[in-house]
Homo-oligomer: A and B are copies of this chain.
Amino acid sequence: MISSTAPENVKDVHGVRERILTAGRAEFAQNGLGAGSVRAIGERAGVTAAMINYYFGGKRALYDAVVSEAQARLGRRLSAAVAGDRAGLAPRLAAAHFDFLSEEPELQRLLLREVLDQGQSVRELAARYVQPLRALFEQHFGADDEALQLAVSLFGAVAGYFLYEPLLGAFLGVDPHSPGALARRRRHVIRLATHLDEMNR
């Protein structure tokens, strides 16, 4: 249960709490939990470091709030893609994943750091989203191992593109974040997913 230990009577009439949340997201995405500094977050938000404790109860609690918000956002996107028609589920999921990562590079970095740090929130995330996805996957595609492996590859292909962006710049010969490169990548990823969909016919 991620909850801030801040006093109940804060009202945040000037949007400071929101600004700290944004600043914390940027700082933690850039430097991670351990190397991120509350003084730097305060500077980004235009307040003193003491405000982090006032509104959130501490550095760790702010981090938890930031991560849990990011996870919720990703979860909402994936859930929306899962809902609706059964046909075209795989490409819809791939597109949703791809779009989330390309639109929110900050959250991508933040969540990757959380995975690398082996934060317990990762295991919670696994239980909350990945397990149900697996169940959905099985009833749609069956428990065939090759289909599972392909799904994993698809996932890695989508995430890896953004993770290894600096290396891929040299490999692809263009900036991976340029509109053209993004569009080409999106097309390819959706085609891969469609292939997975059809493989099961």
Contact = CB atoms under 8 A, between A and B. Distances in A.
Contact of A167 (B122, B145, B172, B188): B122
A75 B74 CA distance: 35
Given A152-B160, A159-B164, A170 B32 contact: no
Q: Which of under 10, 10 to 19, 20 to 34, or 35 or more describes the interface residues of A?
A: 35 or more
Interface string A103-123: 000000100110110100011
A155 B159 CA distance: 11
A34 B27 CA distance: 13
A130 B188 contact: no
A141 interface: no
A160 B170 contact: no
A130 B35 contact: no
Interface string A139-150: 000000110111
A22 interface: no
Contacts of A163: 112, 115-116, 156, 159-160, 163
A134 interface: yes
A47 interface: no
Top 5 A-B residue pairs of the complex, sorted by shortest distance between their CB atoms: A156-B160, A34-B35, A153-B157, A126-B170, A149-B188
